[in-house]
Amino acid sequence: MAKTTARRDLRDDANHGLVRYPKGVEHQYREAGYWTGHTLPAELLSAAAAHADRTALITADGTWTYHDLFTAAQQFAAGLLESTNLWPGDAVMFQMGNVAETVVSYLGCLLAGIRPVCTLPQHGVREISVLAQHVGARGLILQADFGRGQLPDHARTLKADGVIQDVVVARGSAAGLGVSYEALLAAGAETSADTLPYLTCDPREIVVFQLSGGTTGLPKIAPRLHEEYSYNSRAWADKLGWKPGTVVLYPLPIMHNAGVSLGLQPTLLSGATLVLAPSADITTLIDLIESTHPEVIPLVPPALAIRLLEHPRSKSADLSSVKDFIIGGQKLAEEVTVRLRDELGIEVRQKFGMAEGMFLMTPAHASEEVRHHTVGEPLSPADEIRILNPGEDTEVAPGEVGELCVRGPYTIRGYYRAEQHNVHAFTADGFYRTGDLARRHTFDGSTYYSIDGRIKDVINRGVEKIHADEVEELIMRHPDVSNAALVAMPDKVLGEKACAYLVLEPGATPPTVQSLGDFLLSQGLAKYKLPERVEVLPALPLSNVGKISKKSLREDIEGKLGQESGTPG
């Protein structure tokens, strides 16, 4: 059977564990022109054909035209099918940083009908293993020179454990591990796009898997579908007015929902140019702004904005090309917004969004009140928002804080293979309960939203999410620990960091931040999730319903930090 025409189901279950949009709703989205009936790779290829000679991508290693980028992606697609056991319909894990090979591999997978799972290069072996098994992914694409060069060793373990079968190695030797990126391109050199399997994809199918939750318990994976995912990116580019010639600078990890849906895809779908920063190092960013003159930075976490403000070159650097400086991923303090305006002449726009879909953004000509105090309005006219009493289906009173619940043409209707969880995570009529607290505001007759906290047990560390239950479960494996709770502690730059409250086994010596961190790394946890402070208690405080009171623990750590810095908590 030819791999170009045959497909393989990810799982035995007929609908891939996918919760679909109701048929009538799909029809409405198509009638309204939000969904096109085309697949994401088909839309990307037609943009590539329309803009062949324009610059598509600039990385630390060079510049790519649309023609060159998509030629490489086609070669990658054909080579991947030719040289591995992967079939159209399969999923592959990614552990790649901000390099051109990542973009080529991502596009190549789409053209091969293979579904990228947007895992991070920072993920440990256990995390990749859990997620790969949940999705049914047997392939892994890795960047050998990422970080300390640890990823090939991780891949060896994953292969030895039987989790991963096929490994593609970019930027390093593939000897004894799998096939090299260069070998794939060479193997696919003669293939033309009209024989690639993307042509047989159904636009209603899953195109990409994005991550949401942690990796203990049931993984929460957002299955993004061709039509809604390309609409997400088109709507973003349209709202921001991107066109051929627009230069977009992306400073965060590209293989993440925001990177893909707000950086890579909208740039390519609109014929614009993506400048991929190798890291979020602030000196590199200032250099890139001065050398490439971007009009847009689609996602600046508040932590990065603060680093920019504190950088010695920020006031002398020429940042004037940047018209849309979009801050998001975390609550933005008004003080930072005011300093950006007064010290650097930057009028921010805010953005709120998530791997599950829904984005809100400050409209272009919003008043300062809207700009500073809200995250704006939804991206699509078809987005629907309800502010509900948490866990219920009733709306809060006008102007009150409640749980932000969302539905629309690019918000998922269910997590992948998580039937039972979906019953609670979505309302009966398909609104996603975000776990964020929000409030509706009216300014000049228009409606905007602010984010006023969260109910989900997540720590937002400079936009990297740490799911408390995942880390707690691993801490509990430590022989000296009898109980543990992880809470957010405030941090001036990152917004939040993780603090572990521990109850020890009788007579045990308290672990230090270092020794606990070493233990958690040995359990395969990503480094960014490690607790940055350890507190030992004789017992964890309980709420009046007998659950661990994280509220008391958060107040405790805020008080301690306040005392240590000489300010009241």
What does the binding site for ligand AMP look like in residue numbers (CB under 6 A)?
Answer: 212, 257-258, 328-331, 350-355, 375, 434, 436, 451, 454, 460, 465
Among residues 120 and 141, whose Cβ is nearest to ligand AMP?
120
Smallest gap from Cβ 135 to ligand AMP, in A, equals 17
- Measure the CA–CA gap between 178 and 93, rounded to whole angstroms: 14
Smallest gap from Cβ 210 to ligand AMP, in A, equals 7
DSSP track, 457-517: -EEEETTEEEEHHHHHHHHTTSTTEEEEEEEEEEETTTEEEEEEEEEEPTTPPPPPHHHHH
Hey, which residues does 377 pair with through a beta bridge? Answer: 361
Smallest gap from Cβ 360 to ligand AMP, in A, equals 8
Smallest gap from Cβ 224 to ligand AMP, in A, equals 12
DSSP percent split of the chain into helix, strand, coil, nearest 5? 35, 25, 40
Smallest gap from Cβ 128 to ligand AMP, in A, equals 18
Smallest gap from Cβ 434 to ligand AMP, in A, equals 5
**Residue pair 28/227 in contact by the 8 Å Cβ criterion:** no
- Measure the CA–CA gap between 112 and 530, rounded to whole angstroms: 37
Please return the burial class of 20, using the count of CB atoms within 10 Å of its CB with bins 0-12, 13-18 and 19+. Answer: middle
CA 434 to each of CA 14, 53, 178: distance values in angstroms, whole numbers, following the listed order:
28, 42, 40
For 472, the token pair is 């707690």
Among residues 70 and 359, whose Cβ is nearest to ligand AMP?
359
Backbone dihedral angles phi then psi of residue 271, each to the nearest 5 degrees:
75, 15
In 3D space, the residue among 461, 437, 438 whose CA is nearest the CA of residue 449 turns out to be 438
**Residue pair 551/543 in contact by the 8 Å Cβ criterion:** yes
In 3D space, the residue among 267, 319, 273 whose CA is nearest the CA of residue 293 turns out to be 319
Among residues 247 and 466, whose Cβ is nearest to ligand AMP?
466
CA 497 to each of CA 216, 535, 554: distance values in angstroms, whole numbers, following the listed order:
20, 14, 11
Smallest gap from Cβ 268 to ligand AMP, in A, equals 21
**Residue pair 506/491 in contact by the 8 Å Cβ criterion:** no
Among residues 100 and 418, whose Cβ is nearest to ligand AMP?
418
Smallest gap from Cβ 396 to ligand AMP, in A, equals 18
- Measure the CA–CA gap between 382 and 28, rounded to whole angstroms: 10
Smallest gap from Cβ 332 to ligand AMP, in A, equals 6
Smallest gap from Cβ 366 to ligand AMP, in A, equals 15
Rounded (10°) CA dihedral 377, 380, 386, 390: -80
